[in-house]
Each structure stands twice: as C-alpha cells, then as structure tokens.
Amino acid sequence: MKILFLHGWHSVPGGVKPTYLKEHGHEVINPALDDDDFTSAVKTAQAEFDKHQPHVVVGSSRGGAVAMNINSGSAKLVLLCPAWKNWGTASNVNPGTVILHSRADDVIPFAHSEELAKSSEATLIEVGNDHRLADPEPLSVMLWACELLGSGRDLSQLDEELPSEMISATSHRESCYICDACGEEIIIPLDLTEGINQTYVEDCPVCCRANTIHVAMTEDGSARVWAEPEQDRD
Ligand SMILES: [Zn+2]
C-alpha cells in the first residue's frame, strides 16, 4: 500500500512512525516539510500527493494539519494528534477519517481531536501515553488504521464503541480455530501488528500436525479464523 507520511514540526523524514510502516511492507513517501512556512509545507505535501497518488495520508501533529489542508481526493486520512487549531484553515475532514490521540498529550489537547471527530464524523481512537505516539501500541493501531482504510473499508458506519474494541483487538485479543486433523479447538493470540489478513503455518499443540491458519479481520473488529491442512503434510 502506498502511504504519504507528513511529519510533525521539527521532525525529520525517517522517524519511528514512517519507518514502522515501511517495515510492515508499505511504500512510504516521507517528504521533508518546511518547519517555518506552513504554506510551503502544504505545497510540498500537495506536490508529493499528486505525484504518487497514495492510498492513505498519515499526518502527525503539524503534519496532521498539513494533511487536512491538502486536496487529498478520495485518499483516506489517518491523523495522529493533529494540530489543526494551530496551523492552517481546514477545520473538518472527510467522514471515515481516523484520528489517533492520547488523552495524556501535553502538546495538543485531546479535546481538539474530540471536537474534530464530532464535527466531521471521524473516528477518534484514544491510544498512547504522550504526544509522540511512538510506543508499540499506538504504532500498531496506526498500522491497523492504515491497512483497514487503505483496503477500502469504511469505519464511519460503525458505532462509537468501536475505538476501544479496536485497541483491545490490537493488544489482547484471542481467537480459536478447529484443528483439521484432530478436531480440537485451539486458542491463538491475535497480533494485528502482523496485518489484518494473515496466513501462517503452525503445528497443532494437541496432535502436532501442521495447519495453515488464516486470520481475517472484519469491519466490526472481530476476527474470522480458520485452519486447513498444511499442503506438505504426508
Ligand atoms: Zn490437532
């Protein structure tokens, strides 16, 4: 998936968040944005957007304000504690935009994102412990949001309970499958940092035969998990 990442004020390309997205197999365009001249930063971002036509635009802090002020067509926005009240003129986003923000953010008030989410029918996910959102949990939620939106799913129709579900899904969820060989129910942890659609091989802990496990996340935050015999099995 192609992602345009717009960094924050006094950040540089190649930070933790764009690197994380890149490490998970995405093509990340991460231009350097002018720290002093907001108009110039928007112009740079627009040029990169027009050139690369990304599926998803991620904007962090001031980069979130940049993302809101470019013409991003039908691309989806993932905003990380966007500083939209500090920079630019845009005061709303497309419905379906996902906003990640920590209530403990001491740089940009959480209330700014609450206001934005309410006025725009965006989905606000409370996550992380600070403004940076560079810990494992916010990183995995960012990745999940990008992959969910980039695959064309629309979160705007989902109810308000979803955000906490999404967060718990990324860190503590379990599911199960029925072993094809012995019929036992096998509990597995769900690690969404591995993506919303996963296929992997594991040996059944009961009968030791190999199963190919398929995991598919659905829009309501639940997982569909099923197993089939691994093809190389004798
Ligand atoms: Zn088994």
Q: Distance, CA 189 to ligand 1 centroid (Å)?
A: 17
Q: How far is the CA of 207 from the centre of ligand 1 (A)?
A: 4
Residue 77, pLDDT > 50, answer yes
Taking 60 as the threshold, does the pLDDT of residue 156 lie above it? no
Query: Residue 169 above 70 pLDDT?
Result: no
Residue 174 CA to ligand 1 centre (angstroms): 18
Hey, what are 99's tokens? 């906003």
- Indicate whether 157 and 183 sit together in one domain: no
- Residue 234 pLDDT > 60, yes or no? no
Question: In terms of domains, do 156 and 182 share one?
Answer: no
Q: Average pLDDT, stretch 188-212?
A: 82
> Do 21 and 54 fall within a single domain?
yes
Structural domain range at position 188: 173-229
Sorting pLDDT into bands at 50, 70 and 90, what band is 91? very high
Both 187 and 106 in one domain: the answer is no
Task: Please provide the distance, in angstroms rounded to a whole number, between the alpha carbons at the two ends of the chain.
Answer: 37
Q: How many angstroms separate the alpha carbon of residue 209 from the centre of ligand 1? A: 6
Does 42 map to a domain?
yes
With a cut of 50, say whether residue 133 has pLDDT above it.
yes
- What's the pLDDT score for residue 205? 92
Ligand 1 centre distance from Cα of residue 185 (Å)? 8
C-beta atoms surrounding 191 within 10 Å = 13
Q: In this structure, are 137 and 214 located in the same domain? A: no
Residues 7 and 80: their CA atoms lie apart, in Å, by 10
- Convert 94-108 to b/e letters by CB count within 10 Å (16 or more is b): bebbbbbbbeebeeb
Give mean pLDDT, residues 129-157. Answer: 82
pLDDT band at 162 (very low <50, low <70, confident <90, very high): very low
User: Stretch 167-178: mean pLDDT, rounded?
Assistant: 61
- Decide if pLDDT at 220 tops 60: no
Residue 234 lies in a domain: no
Kindly give the distance from the C-alpha atom of residue 182 to the centroid of ligand 1, in angstroms, as a whole number: 4
What pLDDT was estimated at residue 49? Answer: 98
Q: Which of 11-25, 46-60, 152-166 has the lowest mean pLDDT?
A: 152-166
Q: How many Å lie between the centroid of ligand 1 and the Cα of residue 181?
A: 5
| CA 188 to ligand 1 centroid distance, Å | 13
Q: Are residues 183 and 218 in the same domain?
A: yes
Smallest Cα–Cα separation from 56: which of 89, 90, 21? 21
pLDDT digits (tens, 9 = 90+) for 97-116: 999 999 999 999 999 999 99
Task: Specify whether 129 is located in the same domain as 82.
Answer: yes
147-165: average pLDDT: 60
Please indicate, yes or no, if residue 52 is contained in any of the structural domains.
yes
Residue that finishes a domain, picked among 167, 188, 205:
167
Q: What's the gap in Å between 233 CA and the centre of ligand 1?
A: 13
Alpha-helical segments (H) within 24-131: 38-52, 62-69, 110-120
Residue 194, in any domain of the structure = yes
Residue 57 included in any domain = yes
Higher pLDDT, 137 or 174: 137
Q: Tell me, in angstroms, the distance from the centre of ligand 1 to residue 211's CA.
A: 8
Residue where a domain stops, chosen among 129, 150, 167: 167
If asked whether residues 128 and 206 sit together in one domain, one would say: no
What pLDDT does 164 receive? 46
Average pLDDT, the chain: 85
Residue 50's domain is classified under what CATH number? 3.40.50.1820
Q: Same domain, yes or no, for 55 and 140?
A: yes
For the chain, the domain total comes to 2
d(CA 38, CA 53): 22
pLDDT in tens, 8-51: 988 878 889 999 999 999 999 999 999 999 999 999 999 999 99
Q: Are residues 203 and 138 in the same domain?
A: no
130/178 same-domain check: no
Asked whether the predicted pLDDT for residue 217 surpasses 90, the reply is: no
Q: How far is CA 204 from CA 112, 132, 174, in A?
A: 48, 40, 16
